[in-house]
Structure 1
Amino acid sequence: MDTPATKFHALKSPRGVEKAPVPPHPLDAANPLSRAFFAWANKLLAVGNKRQLDPEDMWPLQNANKVAPITAIYARTYHEKKQHLLRAFFSMYGVKLFGIAMMQLFTAACDLYGPAYVLRKVVEAVEQPTFDATYTSLLVLSLYGIQIASAFVKAHMNFLNNVIGMQLSASIRSMLFEKSLRLNGKSKKVKTAGDIANLFSMDVLYIMQFTQNLNLIWIVPLQVAVVLVLIEHLVGWAIFIGLAVVLVILAITALVAVRLGNIQTELFQVKDARMQVLNEMFGAIQIVKFNAWEEKFLDKLTELRASEIKIIWKFWRQYLVLVVFMFSTPVLVTITVFATYTLWMHDLLTVATVFSTLALFKSLQEALIQLPMVIMSTVRCLVSVKRINEVLLMDECDPSNVQTPQSNPTLKEKYAVDRTVVAIDHGAFGWDDTEPFFSDLNLTIQEGQLVVVHGAVGQGKSSLCSIFLGEMEKYAGSVFVGGSVAYFSQQPWIQNATIRDNILFGKPFDEAKYADVVRACALTKDLDSFPLAIALKSARVSLARACYSDADIFVLDAPLAAVDAIVSSEIFTNCILGLLRHKTVILVTHNPDIINSPYVNRSFLIQDGKVTDVAQAHSTPSSPSSSVAPLRARPGYWNGSADDSYASDLIMELPKQKKTVEEKQAELATAPPSDEVSGRLIDAEGRAEGRVSKAVVVKYLRAIGGWPAVSAMVLMSILVEGLRLASDMWLSHWSNQGNRLSDDEFRDSTNTNLTIYTILVAASCAATVLQMGSVVVCSVRGAKSLFANMLASVSAAPISFFDTNPIGRLLNRFGDDIIQVDLVIATTFSPILTEVASVLSRLVTTIVIIQWMGIIVLPLMFIYFRLGSYFLAPLREINRIVKITRSPLLSLVSEGIDGSTTIRAFGQHYLHRFYTLHHVAIEEFCSANFVGYATNQWFALRVDLISSSVVFALLMGIVVMHNSVSSGLVGLVITYGLTIPMSLNGLVNIWAQLETALIAPERLNEYISLPEEGKRHTDMDSSAWPTKGEVVFDAVSYRYKDTDPLVLKEVSFTVHGGEKIGIVGRTGAGKSSLMMSLFRMNDVAAGSIRIDGVDIATLGLKHLRSQLAIIPQNPVLFKGTLRSYLDPFDEFDDAALWLALTKVQLADRVSKDKLDGAVDENGDNFSVGERQMLCMARALLRQAKIVVLDEATAAIDHETDQLLQRVLRTEFASSTVLSIAHRLDTVLDSDRIVVLDHGELVQYDKPAALVAKGSGIFYELVTEGGYMDKVPTVV
């Protein structure tokens, strides 16, 4: 239920969704020993080593991790803490965070026990004349016990930390999603769907990483302070010189951190802009391809990517500075301290002092190495918190815009007297803070009335619908809606789901009701004969969704505009006058026959911001004609019992179909899930199996520079480790001289030893810079190459690829996966090179010094690598599942934001349903993450136990061999031994991170390898073709996919240059398919299409499509300026642009903002009709020899339609015009008519000649549509 302050929700399950029994979570059934060792994850790891893990193998979340209750608590805390995300986090998790902090403190103390105490005591024991084996053995055993205890505490601390971060990210994502569904129009202009998707994918991740690394913020400075104090006990006041060096470096790193924060903000802004353009491009990819605009978008995206790469370079430069200082700080401090200790304090370096100090400095280095990550994580988090908070505090749709019987019982009583269900009283409304669009608006609608809303383009018909829905801001007056609402938007919103799920919209399935709705909305043919890719895009699916909801009030914004006259008549008769006969219907239409129909109770004309209640011309049905014939008297509005047979009569009037709805449903139910007839258009996201393939790795290595670049990085890493080893060996040699030389000789050698040590250390630091720099250079080169190749490949993919891959999935590849190659791979590739070299050099050095230790160490290493192999096999699949379950989240976000108006219109329950769907998607994502957290700590614990055993074996080896090894080498072996646990754990973890990061290139390569829809360019001079515009279809057969049935079957006809051809046919006849074949959206299955004698199959797609012009049924505008939309390639001057706008009567509409006026995302600041006219203006500018109109006048009124028909006749007099028509009156003046039926050409002649035959499909269409009286005037 709603929390009153936060408006966020705790929901259980969407209505109509049955939950399968949930098996118990293995952690719930685990005994204490199993919990301690993470043994409850054994079964899943065993399965993962036998076969590929699937999402179904992931454990369902425990109740404590369920998203809904956690989000409700966090949202409430967020409000209590003055809407601050981090304050709410600390308040909610304070007790747990304190416990984790104590665990962190314990493990930090354990980590210092070895270098701070054990090392010095063992070296001193070896230097004693009499070696105390018992004391030393007990010392070694104590270290072993402490390391074992630390391993258990650390594993459980990290697991708990990860789970808390997971819970927080789930809560923030839920809050963001719920907020995005409530944003008003003004807020959506500020934050687009792409912006919010970016917050979901990256910003939430950065906050989660911060919370998971939270303890490092305080433990790293504390470790530094403690280590400095311990070193002070060893070298005295010399440490203060070293401390001064540390403070100077910390000041520098603080400045670098500030710069990194600013760079991070810049990077987010550019990435947001890039994702927004991608979102627009993929959302309207068909329009992009029709107009051959791929290059326009590629240029724009390439420009944004170039800006992004510049910022990434800035980021890496600052990051390198940070890393260099972090790596060099310990060695600089070491040199400074030893120089002060020997040259100024004139003390002698002993082995115990040198290696205890060196071990502590290495601890200091490990702490400081984490500092850049802590700084980056904190900076990213603070930036992301600000960005997310901006969205969470944005304006929402105000529920008080509309009063309901529940919210205002007084108005309910007032309007109940005359059965008023919709009323506006002295209302003033607008879309922004400017002057109202409607002023002093008054109207009432009674229960059961059929009300039509009409008016010219851009007058506010859709805006009036928005008032009823509460979407338009109310400045004055009141709006009352006395019942549940169902809404059909002018641009239908369809979910990426089956047709049935789209219609049910979460309601339980009622077979009889479903069949009635499908028939009434004229969808039976669609289910029977259409490819589902077309059926699902049908506006009638949205209409069926509204009808199935069984609401009280139906707000239908132009549902009949996109269908032909016959289907329009069927829907009006069977749906609006039949199925909805007892409902209140508000219908937006341009159709004069419906507007003047005697069955319409009220008619509202919108003109100049005024709504006029126009009196109906007829009070009784006389001889209804035209597109609504044959109509019946609308039944009684409140008494349904007497006319219950009316609906069945209407349904019986429908022509008999080949298959019933029930038969079609049976087919859908029994078809294989992968088959398109299953009703689901979206393909499952593919993923590879096993380790990242060699081919992927090779491709990535080529992208970063090939084997020369890889060889350079490897050699640099070997050089770095070699210089580090040389400096440590020299330090051992230097300190060991104290046992052989007199004090004076030892002091005399100090300058030489210090100079050589300084040179080696400086060379090591320089090599580190070069090694890290080479990795960064190669990484950025690879990122640039992969992005460019994927963008080029996806933009050239066939349209079927976009039909079966949701936008969220594409954005995930261009968002998260690109981030991985931009920033993550470099931060894993460099450390893995370093760690591999480090572990090998230290193990080899140790075994060379104590040879027989290889007998113990090598078997332990074998176990370690076998364990790593056993762990990595399932981990790869878990990481892939994490990425796969992430895509539906982004798809749902994009889908939900696009359809938020429709979802809200249907009522709170439908909003709750989407909240719950999002919770389910998050829980699937979190479930995979939880498995990853558990298995990671399963492995980390076992590696720590093995590495502790390695250290124990080394130290016991020293106890046994103390007489045969010098104290200097003993110190070196112990120093190296103490670093082995962290190195071994880090090695596999970094390797796992690298494999995980390499999944990103693997996924990018999948899209880089997409098949192209065809070559884009040809050598032919585009200005020399076409010249006449002659189009010849020669036995053309066409299908959308190789597995689809033919939608065009051996169609042959010739269009002479300059002819005006109308293309007609009943729904599903193949009209749009004819257009798709002309634009080569798919190659023809048989036959050929020739334009001016040239087979279009031989032409490049850009060459072909750029010479054609199309005015589509669903106009799409892209965010930018009016100028950039009309003239994307800067081909025309302002005079030409104004002339085109004038011809379509839009010059006055845009004169206020001129040509550089903003076009919002999806063109939301223009009405659908205005968008259609802008498309016409763009076509006028191109003056193509062949122009295709795909029901281009469906969304405009008849006066504007007549204007545009005149424009077409005059401006395109010499062009060939192919006009697909649902309203026959728009093509009756055509030179010839193409008549299609079930994909076949059945008639092709002049309109008058076709009518004169007295039979045939065209004659039937003209007769049934009531256009017969118009044909003679045309002839």
Structure 2
Amino acid sequence: MLFWWMNPLIKKGYEKPLEETDIPALGIEDEAGTQYSMFMNKIDASKSSLFWIIVSCYKREILVSGFFALLKVLTLSAGPLFLKEFINVSSGKEAFKHEGFVIVLGLLFSKCLESLAQRQWYFRTRRVGVQVRSLLSAAIYRKQQKLSCSASTEHSSGEIMNYLMVDTYRIGEFPFWFHRTWTTGLQLCIALMVLYNAVGPATVASVFVIVLTVMLNAPLAKQQQNIQSKLMEAQDMRLKTMSESLTNMKILKLYAWENHFKGVIEQLRELELKWLSAFQLGKAYTSVLFWASPALDQVSMEYSAHSQYPIAIKSGCFSWDSSENYNLRNINLMVKSGTKVAICGEVGSGKSSLLAAILGEVPRTDGVIQVSGKIAYVSQNAWIQTGSVKDNILFGSTMDKPRYEETLKFCSLVHDLEILPFGDLTQIGERGANLSGGQKQRIQLARALYHDADIYLLDDPFSSVDAHTATSLFNEYVMGALSEKTVLLVTHQVEFLHAFDSVLLMSQGQIMHAASYQELLLSSREFQNLVNAHKDIVNFPNDNMVDYNGDKSPFKREIAVVLDGGKESIKNAEFDQLIRREEREIGGTGLKPYLMYLGQNKGYIYAILVAIANIAFTSGQLAQNSWLAANIQNPGVSTFNLVQVYTAIGIGSIMFLLFRALLAVDLGLQTSRSLFSQLLTALFRAPMSFFHSTPIGRILSRRYYLASSKELMRINGTTKSLVANHLAESISGAVTVRAFKQEGRFFARFLELIDNNASPSIHCFAATEWLTQRLEIMATAILSSSAFIITLLPQGTLSPGVAGMVLSYGLSLNMLFLFSIQNQCSLANQIISVERISQYMDIVKYTQDASPVLKGVSCTFQGGDKIGIVGRTGSGKTTLINAIFRLVKPSGGKITIDGQDITTMGLHDLRSRIGLIPQDPILFNGSIRYNLDPHGHFSDKQIWEVGKCQLDEVINEKQGLDSLVVERGSNWSMGQRQLLCLGRALLRRSRILILDEATASMDNATDAVIQKTVRTEFKDSTIITIAHRIPTVMDCTRVLVVNDGEMVEYEEPQKLMQTEGSFFKELNEYRLKISRAGLQISS
């Protein structure tokens, strides 16, 4: 009741900065798991609304806190009664002897009881608020785990993040304000009764004023409700766009789109501030609050089993949404246990959708599907969880060292782990930022293999690796480690198809043919075309190649690369790991955050004016009461003059109060706008190393009692960012998590993070009540002492008016003293938000210590040359491209374009003049038009001309250029996304074009058409092509071969083919051997 249980923590916080381990663990009744179980039991047993279910969960605590709220109202209302009796005693109207001393004791008891009741009321409702927040957070997380892919397109990760990090906190405030809805009315009624007892019929005037105030306040409350709704919508839009931008920051930098997306976010922020301004101005006139509660729905999933066929689909029809453009139609598939099935077809034919349907991710509209057995899934776009390589492979399974080492060997990861600074304990950045595409894919394969499943669904896992690694993986992994497993493999590698028991040829969402490789060659013209396209590539048809020896354009650019990355020693794992523990200041905040806050947009002037207005208001109140007390019984002052002066002073005080409120609102809004703009600028200018090592969730979230309270607030901030980061990762990897049946483990981890965040919140509230109760007792002692001294004074020493004023101030002293200390502590706690923002304001200085990836690379790309870059996966090819874009800074040497060092060029100028088709095709929320031309520089006619990239037919089937693109482009296939990225390049017509595995997810026929299109449309440009498919670079001017970060060869491909011992020649001969082996089987 008196919060003595907080004493050890308060003492520890006074002696040293608190750490997470110092905070006591939550009791079982406060844990998120307990709250969620109770919530779900209530939902299952009741059909009531969410509000009433929450009320039923906490009805006991609501009733207990309601009792304390009632007790607080009654004891508070006793104050005026004691004051009236005390004035009577001062006037010599004692009802009995020593009545004054009795009143003093009654006042002391009443104020102590009031303090006890209010503190219990506040703490219990705050604690319930945290519990409500925990159960809603758990419910939202659990629901997002069950959202199908089609449903997830309607709720972006930014929206779900907003539900968790904003809405649940607002709803968690509801229990705190709930009892005010009836205590305010009750207190008003009691006050009117006391007033009527004191002044009689004159109370009617007070009632009239109250009714008038309520009538004037009602439309303001309605307006506040509408404004709050608009504010929440604007905040959702801004957070959604910001989350998408930060997640895809690398693409924004590569395309030089930072300023555009930063401008979009700032426009959305201005809209948000517009409604926030209206809302805050409304709060300056009214104290009515309105809270909105988002609804939650339940989603159920059903699983069926069939023992004879692990996968059985009969007349299956599947649709992502209401549109029929991307349906799977008339799917009939029976897969026997242990068989190997290959799935092939052109871009957008439904290959990945078929795997998603088997996983239960695509809603079934007709037919029957039965899947039995444990499933392992490898997605086309690799999903890597923040953590170590080892954690990603084990993925919640227990460690079996022999099986683990065997898995590394089958996935060709042994050599890669030897290169990584800490082997399999190396921390991987968010989404595998510090790994190559091939390394990420092989870690996914290792995760699937270690899972020891019955069914393996592999979605084009070899497109991100070189031919040698692909062959090794196919032989060792698919045909070796998975020899007794059921495997469905989506692939464009025709040379592997002959080894499968069955091949599915898909087109336009249907299985056109399903038979063995040999049978398809004899019966299917489409399959013959597919194989012939591969033959053409293997045999390098020169008639399809573009002649690059014509006249040179004056706009070509020459690129010279001279890098001298010296060896660096690894000193300490704590400092060299990529993902580091979030920084947290300790001790006092100092003046820096205050000065930083006031230093924004004339903040000092605003602060001075607010202080002056506050002093004037307080002085007016004092003068008003002093005038009334001194002259109420003065015969020389008429009643009219008394009221006139009193009213005039009151109106003046109100004007100063309004002026103070408006200034404070304007100061807050202007400072918020300035700090947000600076933070946004710092984030968009931050190097990629910052985003690699800082989870997006961490970015999106940010004395005696005072010493403990500050650290509790800081710990609350850091634990909150862990919750946000786990949610963001779970959303992006939802399909993989569901496929591996890891929802329970991820949910348990989320509950743990929720509890880690709830504990400092509850203890912070308890610390506040601990302090408040002691301050109130101190104020009560001062009040009682004052009343006792007045009682001891001879009668007539103080007039009844002065005595009443003194006790009236004594009664309000309790509240004023409390508010003063509370506001100081609250200010010190809230300024921590500015302190956390300040940390990110300096991120442009962020540096990441790491050993060099590229060492001693020296080469020149002549203007107009077509340069091919090849090498084993993880050899440093993409890093070289990142260096040209200045995403990474060379530790030695330099890169020049037309003789100018790129470090002397503006980043925007450099990146905007280089075209790129990236390895990971990223699309943004919006339309096809917006994704091709976000700046709106091109007409529709010009955009339609990029139909040369094979997308015009697909776009026309939908809504043309207005076709919807959801977050991450998940409603388009990987190949279609890469075609859209090619469309961007065709629009920009850059004189330097870089293709980073641009056609890795395309079939051979489409690849050939795209390569010819690029070489025709960019025949006068310098083209740098990173490719795993050797035929792609055979017609290049020169080929750069990279191995383990070093330049091995740089020469014309034909010369390299004629050079004995050439690394490039060996790569090509190995590819030819594998490819022709597959073709010979078909002959």
Shared fold (TM-score, shorter chain, > 0.5): yes
Distance 1:759 1:81 in 2: 58
Q: Is it true that 1:1005 corresponds to 2:873 in the alignment?
A: no
Q: Is it true that 1:570 corresponds to 2:570 in the alignment?
A: no
Match of 1:948 among 775, 780, 789: 780
- Counterpart for residue 350 of structure 2: 460
Match of 2:363 among 473, 477, 492: 473
**Paired residue secondary structure (1:122):** helix
Distance 1:1106 1:1087 in 2: 23
Q: Is it true that 1:809 corresponds to 2:698 in the alignment?
A: yes
- Counterpart for residue 793 of structure 2: 961
Match of 1:588 among 465, 490, 499: 490
- Counterpart for residue 441 of structure 1: 331
Match of 1:266 among 230, 239, 262: 230
1:87-114 Cα distance to aligned partner (Å, 9 max, x none): 0122122222112111111121111212
Distance 1:277 1:1250 in 2: 48
1:485-529 Cα distance to aligned partner (Å, 9 max, x none): 011111111111211111111111111111111221122222221
- Counterpart for residue 535 of structure 1: 435
Distance 2:436 2:3 in 1: 48
Cα shift at 1:158: 2.3
Distance 1:1057 1:1256 in 2: 26
Cα shift at 1:236: 1.0
Distance 1:1168 1:465 in 2: 14
- Counterpart for residue 40 of structure 1: 5
Match of 1:140 among 79, 97, 104: 104
Q: Is it true that 1:204 corresponds to 2:156 in the alignment?
A: no
Q: Is it true that 1:886 corresponds to 2:783 in the alignment?
A: no
Q: 1:133 to 1:952 in 2, by over 3 A?
A: farther
- Counterpart for residue 505 of structure 1: 395
Structure 2 residue identity aligned to 1:430: S
**Paired residue secondary structure (1:444):** strand
Cα shift at 1:708: 1.8
Q: 1:758 to 1:1246 in 2, by over 3 A?
A: same
Structure 2 residue identity aligned to 1:955: A
TM-score after normalising by structure 1? 0.78
Task: Judge conservation of contact 2:310–2:337 (CA < 8 Å) in 1.
Answer: yes
Distance 1:98 1:488 in 2: 52
Task: Judge conservation of contact 1:1069–1:1238 (CA < 8 Å) in 2.
Answer: yes
Q: 1:132 to 1:707 in 2, by over 3 A?
A: farther
Distance 1:1269 1:803 in 2: 38
Structure 2 residue identity aligned to 1:1100: G
Cα shift at 1:223: 0.2
The residue correspondences of 1:169-248 to structure 2 (distance < 5 A) are: 169-248=133-212
Cα shift at 1:186: 2.9
Cα shift at 1:627: 12
Q: Is it true that 1:794 corresponds to 2:698 in the alignment?
A: no
Distance 2:85 2:963 in 1: 78
1:265-321 Cα distance to aligned partner (Å, 9 max, x none): 111111111111111111111111100100110111111111111111221222222
Q: 1:1151 to 1:585 in 2, by over 3 A?
A: closer
Distance 2:347 2:534 in 1: 21
Structure 1 residue identity aligned to 2:758: C
Distance 2:184 2:808 in 1: 21
Aligned-pair Cα RMSD in Å: 2.3
Distance 1:570 1:924 in 2: 45
1:894-922 Cα distance to aligned partner (Å, 9 max, x none): 11111111111122xx1111111110010
1:603-633 Cα distance to aligned partner (Å, 9 max, x none): 101012321444334599xxx99999xxxxx
Q: Which moved more, 1:133-142 or 1:1168-1177?
A: 133-142
- Counterpart for residue 704 of structure 2: 870
- Counterpart for residue 574 of structure 2: 674
- Counterpart for residue 563 of structure 2: none
Distance 1:1247 1:709 in 2: 70
Cα shift at 1:1012: 5.7
Q: 1:1003 to 1:551 in 2, by over 3 A?
A: same
Task: Judge conservation of contact 1:1065–1:1257 (CA < 8 Å) in 2.
Answer: no
- Counterpart for residue 332 of structure 1: none
Task: Judge conservation of contact 1:1048–1:1239 (CA < 8 Å) in 2.
Answer: yes
The residue correspondences of 1:43-442 to structure 2 (distance < 5 A) are: 43-82=8-47, 84-115=49-80, 117-128=81-92, 134-322=98-286, 372=287, 375-376=288-289, 379-380=290-291, 383=292, 385=293, 387=294, 389=295, 392-393=296-297, 396=299, 399-400=301-302, 403-404=304-305, 411-412=306-307, 416=308, 420-435=309-324, 437-442=327-332
The residue correspondences of 1:553-568 to structure 2 (distance < 5 A) are: 553-568=455-470
Distance 1:93 1:156 in 2: 16
**Paired residue secondary structure (1:107):** helix
Distance 1:1268 1:472 in 2: 36
Distance 2:1012 2:968 in 1: 28
Q: 1:298 to 1:625 in 2, by over 3 A?
A: closer
**Paired residue secondary structure (1:522):** coil
Gapped regions of structure 1 (runs ≥ 5): 1-35, 323-371, 405-410, 629-667, 814-868, 1014-1040, 1271-1275
**Paired residue secondary structure (1:439):** strand
Q: Which moved more, 1:66-75 or 1:1110-1119?
A: 66-75
Task: Judge conservation of contact 1:78–1:84 (CA < 8 Å) in 2.
Answer: no
Distance 1:759 1:1222 in 2: 85
Distance 2:669 2:500 in 1: 65
Percent identical: 30
Q: Is it true that 1:1175 corresponds to 2:981 in the alignment?
A: yes
Cα shift at 1:1251: 1.6
Q: 1:673 to 1:42 in 2, by over 3 A?
A: farther
Gapped regions of structure 2 (runs ≥ 5): 422-427, 521-530, 536-568, 1077-1083
Task: Judge conservation of contact 1:484–1:553 (CA < 8 Å) in 2.
Answer: yes
- Counterpart for residue 902 of structure 1: 736
Task: Judge conservation of contact 1:494–1:536 (CA < 8 Å) in 2.
Answer: no
1:953-981 Cα distance to aligned partner (Å, 9 max, x none): 11111112244322221111100001112
Distance 2:23 2:389 in 1: 29
- Counterpart for residue 700 of structure 1: 597
Match of 2:510 among 610, 613, 618: 610
Q: 1:688 to 1:235 in 2, by over 3 A?
A: same
**Paired residue secondary structure (1:237):** helix
**Paired residue secondary structure (2:260):** helix
Q: Which moved more, 1:572-581 or 1:553-562?
A: 572-581
Structure 2 residue identity aligned to 1:56: T
Distance 1:889 1:1175 in 2: 33
Q: Which moved more, 1:309-318 or 1:800-809?
A: 309-318
- Counterpart for residue 821 of structure 2: 988
Distance 1:459 1:615 in 2: 18
- Counterpart for residue 767 of structure 2: 935
Q: 1:158 to 1:1268 in 2, by over 3 A?
A: closer
Q: 1:588 to 1:579 in 2, by over 3 A?
A: same
1:104-144 Cα distance to aligned partner (Å, 9 max, x none): 111211112122x2111111111118897722012101211
Distance 2:705 2:483 in 1: 64
Structure 1 residue identity aligned to 2:745: R
Task: Judge conservation of contact 1:566–1:1264 (CA < 8 Å) in 2.
Answer: yes
**Paired residue secondary structure (1:236):** helix
TM-score after normalising by structure 2? 0.91
Higher relative contact order (CA 8 A, sep 6+): 2
Q: Is it true that 1:924 corresponds to 2:756 in the alignment?
A: yes
Q: 1:883 to 1:1268 in 2, by over 3 A?
A: closer
- Counterpart for residue 750 of structure 1: 639
Structure 2 residue identity aligned to 1:503: I
Distance 2:107 2:939 in 1: 81
Structure 1 residue identity aligned to 2:852: L
Task: Judge conservation of contact 1:530–1:1068 (CA < 8 Å) in 2.
Answer: no
Task: Judge conservation of contact 1:1096–1:1104 (CA < 8 Å) in 2.
Answer: yes
**Paired residue secondary structure (1:492):** coil
- Counterpart for residue 1159 of structure 1: 965
Cα shift at 1:944: 1.6
Q: 1:178 to 1:524 in 2, by over 3 A?
A: same
**Paired residue secondary structure (1:1175):** helix
**Paired residue secondary structure (1:106):** helix
